[in-house]
Amino acid sequence: MRSILYLILSLLSIFVFLGVFYYAYIFETDSHDHTNVVSEVTPTQPSEKTTTQQNVAPTKDALISSMERTSLLAGLEWPAPNKIVSSVNESTDATKCSYEVINLQENYTIGSFVNVLVVARDANGLAKTHGGDFFQAKLYNSQLKASTFGFVMDHNNGTYTVQFSLLWYGPAHVSILLVHSSEAVQVLRKQRDQDPDKVIFYGYFKDGTITEQVVCNALQSPWLVGDSKSCCCKYRDPVTEESWFCRRPSSLPCYAFSQHSMGRYQANLSSLESSLLNENREKVVLGKDPVINVLPQDTVKRETRRCQPGLDTPVPAGFYFQDRWTSVVCNSQAFSTAMLISDCLKNKQVHMMGDSTLRQWFEYLVETVPTLKRLNLYTSALSGPLEAVDLQNNYVIRWRSHGIPFRTTKTPVADLHYIARQTDDLAGGRHIVVVITIWAHFTTYPVDIYMRRVATIRRSILSLLQRAPDTLVLIKSANTGFKDVYGSDWLSWQLDLILRTMFRSLPVAFIDVWQMTSCHYSPDNIHPPKEVVRNEVDLFLSFVCPQ
């Protein structure tokens, strides 16, 4: 009897064990399947699953789909010359190009438009029969310190039309600038797509008293690999999956990587390519220079919409008058005193992440507001992080670089954080303001590198806005001012278009400084003067404290 009881208990134990095993197997299988499904949710299709799986590293397709990539590349298409040039004289020459105002009138009124026809010619005076020249245009009045950006339409036959909006009263003049000929643009495109080692970086390894310096970059290119015996140390961020490569030190381990810096410029250009980039670069197109007379009127319309996320950016996005930028996107304000700035930023935490053009905002605010005190964090003045605190008004401003690749002086790798990782650490909320810009340090790479970086940032911003919808996120556009193979305005424009397109569906605000830097009277510089930076910051504050 006792033996039968033991037998029954043993059989029950076996059944229980098998049941637990089966349940565990089913649960584990379902769990893995669920994770795979979550990792394939795209940033443009948010769901509850994305908020509960923030730390799951997504697949490449989850960051940016093949369809989106194809669409982005289609938007970057640029007309190419219809023949192979053998001399710089065959490329577009600004001194032989011309423009004229179409149907010029004696007087105009505010709110009307002016159209200008541009005809492109080569150095021999022959009319071009294809498009692809990179022009920038503005309407201006030097005495009034007034100007606005003009939209250039390429007709793909050697002619271009520029449309200007008349936004202030008084006389105005046309300025057409040939930034790069269509032939020069092809050189820029080739160099960008085929030579990622035009700019290289140095990695510094240290273990006790032993130090080594090697070359590094964002791609494991043939040049970087060199002798396969010495390559490579690969550094892959576990969350963003961003990668960085350094040649392997001869005597130190890969984990001894401690500091980063800019290396050198080493573009490999033929004499013809150099001539195409430099001969006709940034020259003003000559025209009849007519005076466009705009009459004053009793009712001058100004945009009254509140500055808030989700607004489109038209062309023009605004205009300068007496050195003050008036937005036509929303009701922009002038924060002309330190008190106005501090009242706006009171009880805020402002997180700026990007490059030196955004660092200029940080520096301007510190210089302008006496109660805003910069802390000495014993970090690099160029790559940060930087922090300033106003205890009287209870707000803090932080600036960080966007992480490698970053052209800077020697700085600790630990201080260079990816924007996505930094954003993931923010709780968000109505007291949090996030400002992002990223473009200038990616102009030498194929656009896929940039697309992927922006996609990781987009996913992080989406997650932030899902857990804290009242967080204000602003995207600062690219500046103009780059004019060579390492950072042409054409290269910057292509990246800026990607940035705008990839963030278009998110509830973020765009600060269009491309137009603000392009049409200002100051000398062309990637780092604009204080007059421009002040207007950029005023527009930013108009979104922080809308009226």
Q: What is the pLDDT of residues 366-420, one digit of tens each?
A: 999 999 999 999 999 999 999 999 999 999 999 999 999 999 999 999 999 999 9
Query: Comparing 175-189, 288-302, 454-468, 475-489, which segment has the lowest mean pLDDT?
Result: 288-302
239 vs 508, which has greater pLDDT?
508
Q: Measured between alpha carbons, how far is residue 67 from residues 15, 166, 485, 502, 543 in Å?
A: 51, 39, 30, 13, 33
- Confidence bin at 280 (pLDDT 50/70/90): low
> What pLDDT was estimated at residue 276?
93
- Confidence bin at 286 (pLDDT 50/70/90): confident
233 pLDDT more than 50: yes
* Stretch 13-41: mean pLDDT: 33
Question: pTM of the entire structure?
Answer: 0.86
Helix (H) or strand (E) holding 14: helix 2-39
* Stretch 135-149: mean pLDDT: 97
- Confidence bin at 345 (pLDDT 50/70/90): very high
CA-based nearest residue to 417, from 256, 242, 263, 255: 242
272 pLDDT more than 70: yes
> What pLDDT was estimated at residue 301?
61
> What pLDDT was estimated at residue 289?
82
- Confidence bin at 351 (pLDDT 50/70/90): very high
61 pLDDT more than 90: no
Q: What is the mean pLDDT of the chain?
A: 88
Query: Comparing 47-56, 288-297, 428-437, 466-475, which segment has the lowest mean pLDDT?
Result: 47-56
> What pLDDT was estimated at residue 527?
96
Share of residues in the chain with pLDDT > 90 (%): 79
Beta-bridge partner residues of 170: 294
DSSP 8-state symbol, 59: P
> What pLDDT was estimated at residue 99?
96
- The three-class DSSP label of residue 469 is coil
Helix (H) or strand (E) holding 287: strand 286-287
Q: Could you give the CA distance from residue 311 to residue 328 in angstroms, rounded to a whole number?
A: 11
10 pLDDT more than 90: no
> What pLDDT was estimated at residue 296?
83
Longest dimension (CA), the chain: 118
50 vs 66, which has greater pLDDT?
66
Signed CA dihedral, 456, 460, 463, 465: sign only: negative
- Confidence bin at 297 (pLDDT 50/70/90): confident
48 vs 117, which has greater pLDDT?
117
> What pLDDT was estimated at residue 300?
56
The answer to whether the beta carbons of residues 383 and 413 sit under 8 Å apart is no
User: Which two tokens mark 413?
Assistant: 């790798």
pLDDT digits (tens, 9 = 90+) for 432-477: 999 999 999 999 999 999 999 999 999 999 999 999 999 999 999 9
49 pLDDT more than 80: no
60 pLDDT more than 60: no
The answer to whether the beta carbons of residues 358 and 533 sit under 8 Å apart is no
Query: Comparing 88-102, 186-200, 300-314, which segment has the lowest mean pLDDT?
Result: 300-314
Q: Could you give the CA distance from residue 502 to residue 511 in angstroms, rounded to a whole number?
A: 15
Q: Could you give the CA distance from residue 104 to residue 118 in angstroms, rounded to a whole number?
A: 15
> What pLDDT was estimated at residue 383?
93
